Amino acid sequence: MLVTFIVVAAGLVGATGLILGLFLGVASEKFKVEVDEREANVRAALPGNNCGACGFPGCDGCAKAIANGEAPVNQCPVGGAAVAAKIAEIMGTNASGETADKKVAFVRCKGDCDKTKQAFHYTGIADCRDLSVVPNGSEKECPYSCCGYGTCVKACKFDAIHIVNGVAVVDKEKCVACGACVKACPKHIIDLVPYKKKHIVSCQNHLKGKQVKDACAVGCIACGMCEKNCPFDAIHVIDGLATMNDKCKDCGICAQKCPTGAITGKRPVKPAAPKPAAPANAPKAAAAAPIEAKASATAPADKPAEQPKDTANA
């Protein structure tokens, strides 16, 4: 009797499993979603960081957009030219123009420990987000300055940003413009700028000129010298801070005229025009002429001949 129950139970379980298996098999065929083979290949070529720097929700969203033609093959800033070339081969296109639009992170603060005054000593949790909520928001006199406690460093997965003498500094060669440091900075002083851009306003303070001078030696004092000397109308003082626009030609005049050095880079110096070469015989002739003139000037004048005395009439 017991054996019969065991056999019946096993049969019921087996029949149930068979029925469910058939149902799932039919359902998977009926409700299956067609996946573009190119999308799968593009997804495999992407680095898989899921950082969102491409503007899509992770690498899956980026791969789908590229496969559907909604995004260029170089949409992923982390993969760079190598990944763009692989995806271009999958999509049957080219990856030209990737380096032209390359961007890197830039910290709009150069007020390190040597250039800024310290307001107090912070002894709390070593994190910029915790420091930013205390009065003044920074150990430094300038409330817009870099906190220097490395929240951006912790957020960067590519070892492209470090704290140097109290201020964050970006390694342009390692930066992939993922934007993680931009989101992590509580002061909002990190931006993505063109890789080739040389002249940038490296200050975000909106204090008055005297307040800036009292707090930082390299802060923007809103003097307007950059605006007055820019020949392209590319920089203006807005809300107490010099701000560049898309008209900038990177000529460097603003950086040269800035009295505090708040604009990065220097105006390129044009080399002096070469002097024309003198003829081979010219130096000798020129040297001989003054000597002759000097000799003639110093030679004694000829004395008149003495007349013989008339002794007869003496």
DSSP string, 79-133: THHHHHHHHHHHHTS--TTTTTT-EEEEES----TTTB-B-----S-S-HHHHTT
- What pLDDT does 274 receive? 63
Is residue 216 within 8 Å of 139, Cβ to Cβ? no
Q: Give the pLDDT confidence of 169-187 residue by residue, as tens digits.
A: 999 999 988 889 999 999 9
Percent of the chain predicted with pLDDT > 70: 81
Q: Per-residue confidence at 229, pLDDT binned at 50, 70, 90?
A: very high
Look at 92 and 134; give whichever has higher pLDDT.
134
Residues 265-287: pLDDT tens digits?
Answer: 865 555 555 656 655 555 544 44
- What pLDDT sits at residue 270? 54
Return mean pLDDT, the chain: 83
Residue 137: pLDDT over 60: yes
Judge contact between 108 and 203, C-beta under 8 A: yes
pLDDT of 301 strictly over 70: no
Q: How confident is the model at residue 28 (pLDDT cuts 50, 70, 90)?
A: confident
Same fold, 37-91 and 198-268: no
- For the cut 80, the answer to whether the pLDDT of residue 158 exceeds it is yes
Banded model confidence at residue 147, pLDDT cuts 50, 70, 90: very high
Least confidently predicted of 31-35, 238-242, 248-252, 291-295:
291-295
Judged against a pLDDT cut of 70, whether residue 297 lies above it is answered with no
Print burial letters for 72-101: b (CB count within 10 Å at least 16), e (below 16): bbbbbbbbbeebbbbbbebbeeebeebeee
CA distance 76 to 55: 9
Residue 6, both tokens: 């065991």
* For residue 294, pLDDT beyond 50: no
Q: Determine the pLDDT at residue 309.
A: 46
- pLDDT, tens digit (0-9, with 9 covering 90-100), for 67-116: 888 888 888 888 888 888 899 888 887 765 444 467 899 999 999 999 99
198-268: CATH class: alpha beta
pTM above 0.75, yes or no: no
Q: What pLDDT, on a 0 to 100 scale, did the predictor assign at position 203?
A: 95
> Cβ neighbours of residue 239 under 8 Å, at least 6 residues apart?
206
The structural domains of the chain, with segments of one domain joined by +, span: 37-91, 102-196, 198-268
User: Other CB atoms closer than 10 Å to residue 120's CB: what's the count?
Assistant: 12
Which comes out higher in pLDDT, residue 248 or 308? 248
- The second-level CATH assignment, the architecture, of 37-91 is Orthogonal Bundle (1.10)
Tokens of 110: 């150069």
So what CATH class is 102-196? Answer: alpha beta
Least confident range from 193-197, 249-253, 280-284, 305-309: namely 305-309
Q: How many angstroms separate the CA atoms of 248 and 152, rounded? A: 28
